[in-house]
Amino acid sequence: MSQHAIEFENVRKEYGQTVALDGVSFSVEAGTTTVLVGPSGCGKTTTMKLVNRLEDPTDGTVRFEGEDVQNVEKTSLRRSIGYVIQDIGLFDHMTVAENVGTVPRLKDWDEDRIESRVDELLALMDLPPDQYRENYPRELSGGQRQRVGVARALAADPDLMLMDEPFGALDPITRDNLQDEFLEIQEQINTTILFVTHDIDEALKMGDKIAIYDVGEVVQYDTPENILENPANEFVEDFIGSNRGLKKLQVLPVEDVMDTDDSLVGTSVSELPRGGSEPESAAADGAGAPPHVAPGQSAETALSVLLESECDDLPVVRDGSVVGTVNLEHLHHSKSQRGELAHE
């Protein structure tokens, strides 16, 4: 049994005279998020469409769970794969509940099962079912619509989700929130995700692995850390942009750099000494709590809080008690530490 949810093997796709993809080969591990990123027209969306057969390859093979998708009937293939697109494409004449229940209905689930699945998903997407079930899409904000879009894609419990710039049309704040929520949700559902974006920051944030596309081909396929550390060529380097140092901190969770031997470890948040001045926009939740970060937050966030607050050692707090501290020195030395991690 192969661990690979999707395998691309030497895939080529032509549209008339134009070659959209050439020699694309990589595998996506089950349960991970793989982001396809590149400038527009580079073939990333085409790659995605080959998986649910909205397009068929000119040459080469695409396998889903070990089977050549060419041998699977289109509609049943698509019903087993969740699909989220940038335009969301909600059905305006159906309620939120009917929208979310689309694929289960196509699959002939019985009504009770659909109902409870819809409620479960709306709750998961932070749209209380009592409040939103009977709404029509036009009554929702952009962010809420995309939540419904994601819930709809998850409805029939797919083994694979295809997400084509799902957050691309949202404002930066909504996008950021949805990305965070989606990362949390993904830990619960454990589905394989293939994610397309043109935004390298989104790719670094969402991806366990990233495939960087230049025109029609994959130029680097690796983890975010390795891509930042060793860009395969100048194109990748340009694409990442100038602030690589900060981006490395973006993909580095605080827990990987924190000092777990500090004397503060074990104390609870309420016992922490109050910092001299209260930074107004620190990551501190709850009024009055001194500045702190969560272990899962990025080292970049920690840096930002450190710069704003006056403390030298920033407490890292999980469930109300301190599990470590982080200071500028830890962040500065994070590079070597991550090197060790990569070797493990």
Partner 1 sequence: MSNLLVEATNYLLSNFDTFVDLLREHLILVLVAQVGAILVAVTAGILATRNERTKTWVLSSGNISQTVPPLAVIALVFPFVGIGFNSALLAMWVYALLPIITNTIAGIEDVDEGTIRAAKGMGMTDSEILRQIQLPLAVPVIFAGIRTSTVMNVGTAYLAIFIGAGGLGDWVVTGIQLFNTPQILAGAIPGAVLAISLDTILGVAERNLDTQTTQSGGAVAEA
Q: Which residues bind partner 1 (CB under 8 A)?
A: 52, 54, 74-80, 83, 85-93, 102-103, 106, 136, 138, 149, 152-153, 162
**What residues are paired with 318 via a beta bridge?**
321
Helix %, strand %, coil % for the chain, to 5? Answer: 40, 25, 35
CB of 230 vs partner 1, minimal distance in Å: 35
The residue count of the chain comes to 344
Q: How far is the CB of 42 from partner 1 (least distance, A)?
A: 20
In angstroms, rounded to a whole number, what is the distance separating the alpha carbons of residues 159 and 34? 14
Q: To the nearest whole angstrom, how small is the minimum distance from the Cβ of residue 114 to partner 1? A: 14
CB of 97 to partner 1, least distance (A): 13
Q: Distance between alpha carbon 128 and the CA centroid of its chain, in Å?
A: 23
Burial of 22-44, coded b for 16+ CB within 10 Å and e otherwise, reads: bebebbbebebbbbbbbeeebbb
Which residue lies nearer to partner 1 by CB, 52 or 304? 52
Residue with Cβ nearer partner 1 (63 or 79): 79
DSSP letter assigned to residue 50: H
Q: Cβ of residue 313: shortest distance to partner 1, in angstroms?
A: 49
Cβ 87 to partner 1, closest distance in Å? Answer: 3
- Residue closer to partner 1, measured from CB, 107 or 333: 107
Is 98 or 229 the residue whose CB approaches partner 1 more closely? 98
Compute the least distance from the CB of residue 13 to partner 1, in Å.
17
Strand, coil or helix: 254 = helix
- On whether the CB atoms of residues 279 and 308 are closer than 8 A, the answer is yes
State whether residue 192 is helix, strand or coil: strand
Structure tokens at 113: 């099962």
In whole angstroms, give the CA distance from residue 35 to residue 281: 31
Please, which residue, 67 or 237, has the CB nearer to partner 1? 67
Instruction: Name the residue nearer to partner 1 (CB basis): 154 or 204.
Output: 154
CB atoms within 10 A of CB 98: 17
- The nearest distance, CB 301 to partner 1, in angstroms, is 34
Amino acid at the residue 22: D
Rounded-to-integer distance, Cα 191 and Cα 185, Å: 10
Considering the complex, state which of residue 86 and residue 191 has its C-beta at the smaller distance from partner 1: 86
Tell me how far apart the alpha carbons of residues 36 and 38 are, in angstroms, rounded to a whole number: 7
Listed in sequence order, the residues at least 6 apart from 327 whose beta carbon sits closer than 8 Å to its beta carbon are: 259, 306, 312, 313, 314
Q: Which is nearer to partner 1, 198 or 205 (CB)?
A: 198
